[in-house]
Amino acid sequence: MPKTIFIAGGAGYVGSKLVQFALVKKYNVICYDNLVYGKKSIKKFSGNKNFVFIKGDVRDKNKLKKLFSEYRIDYVVNLASIVGDKQCQTIPKTAYEVNFNGNKCLAQISKSNKVKKYIFASTCSNYGIVNPNEYANENSKLFPVSLYAESKVDSEKYLLNQKTKDLQFVILRFATAYGLSNRTRFDLTINSFTYEAFKFKKLHIFAKETWRPFIHVDDMCYMILKSLLIKNKTNLVLNAGYTKNNFSKKAIVEKIKKNIKNCKIEYVDAIIDRRDYRVNCDKISKYLKIKQSKSIEDGIKEILVNIKKKIIKENEIKQNLLDQNCKRLQLFYKR
Ligand SMILES: NC(=O)c1ccc[n+]([C@@H]2O[C@H](COP(=O)([O-])OP(=O)(O)OC[C@H]3O[C@@H](n4cnc5c(N)ncnc54)[C@H](O)[C@@H]3O)[C@@H](O)[C@H]2O)c1
């Protein structure tokens, strides 16, 4: 019998791609989302008999309880979140409630409804600032420097403290994503640098020597789907990326420059974002045995082709830039 995956936040950047890949793998998919950014990203799945969309909030205990009693759900993937430092700062109280309380609520309901695996999308931002000579591994000290990361660190702690016999919590600390999705975010480093370099032929780069690990959004989805098949039953924390995919902002700019000629780069000394970390992802490659499917260059190229051919329209890009995302969040949660 096909298994059923409940994807909270399934209309988002990662979620809408995960829905697509899970349907290809013949899972039944229940996509649960309150549609902060609209429904366009999941429109194309509406005719699929294995796809159900339910509009709802991850903090809504009663609605979730009812749903979990109606459907037999095997796996839960929690992607529902207010994502990003600035986004969380825009609506701090709500952000913590959604990210922490929402996750707690979904985890409790999963626990009492015989769910087998619960995948939680956490972030490598939890490491905050790491000594330049070191790569953080899953045992390294967490040093959240934003409310966003704090809400994820607290959520991880909550999940890891749960004593469960049949339900396994898998915490994936994702690297920063890039690449195309059904709701492509242009507030992410690689996607936004590529757009700005193409559109304005100019980039202002702050703190060029700060490092991050990166991962293509497709690979995030492959990791989530593969995590559902992990055999052992103990709770797990995995850095979700590729060790070879840690780069400084300057190195990312160099890669973009190779694809966009005559782009003027201005490096600015000011530090707006204190995060600076390199992450070791060897544990996940041992567990899941997946190879990287798309490099950073592939990501830059696919974004460029879609912009140039106007497959992604200018107004769609603008709606998904950082400031617009924050405005949309503010408007949505004020209602
Ligand atoms: N994209 C990245 O670079 C990245 C990196 C590390 C971790 N993550 C994590 O992956 C997950 C998905 O991120 P994303 O990039 O797809 O972000 P996104 O903002 O595109 O997706 C989040 C989704 O959650 C939904 N949502 C927000 N509040 C909700 C609520 N109260 N109830 C139900 N749904 C709600 C939104 O409508 C949206 O569809 C998040 O948990 C994020 O923290 C993402």
H or E element in which residue 223 lies: helix 217-227
pLDDT of residue 112: 95
Share in percent of the chain as helix, strand, coil (round to 5)? 45, 20, 35
Q: What percent of the chain has pLDDT over 70?
A: 99
pLDDT of residue 184: 98
3-state secondary structure of 213: strand
**Two tokens at 87?**
């986004």
| CB of 80 sitting under 6 A from ligand 1 | yes
Q: CB of 107 within 8 A of CB of 158? A: yes
Q: Residue 22's domain is classified under what CATH number? A: 3.40.50.720
Rounded mean pLDDT, 105-117: 97
Residue-wise pLDDT tens digits, 225-259:
999 999 988 999 999 999 999 999 999 999 999 99
Residue nearest atom 34 of ligand 1, based on CA coordinates = 33
| CB of 127 sitting under 6 A from ligand 1 | no
How far does residue 82's CA lie from ligand 1's centre (Å)?
A: 6
Q: How many domains does the chain have?
A: 1
pLDDT of residue 333: 96
pLDDT of residue 155: 98
pLDDT of residue 258: 95
Q: Which atom of ligand 1 is nearest to the CA of 78?
A: 41
Residue-wise pLDDT tens digits, 249-305:
999 999 999 999 899 999 988 767 778 899 999 999 999 999 999 999 999 999 999
> Does the pTM exceed 0.75?
yes
Q: How far is CA 252 from CA 14, 176, 208, 296, in A?
A: 21, 13, 9, 8
| CB of 33 sitting under 6 A from ligand 1 | yes
| CB of 279 sitting under 6 A from ligand 1 | no
**Which structural domain, as residue segments, surrounds residue 211?**
4-334
pLDDT of residue 334: 87
How far does residue 33's CA lie from ligand 1's centre (Å)?
A: 10
What mean pLDDT value characterizes the chain? 96
Contacts of 213 (CB under 8 A, 6+ apart): 124, 175, 176, 239, 241, 242, 243, 245, 246, 277, 278, 279, 281
How far does residue 78's CA lie from ligand 1's centre (Å)?
A: 9
How far does residue 16's CA lie from ligand 1's centre (Å)?
A: 10
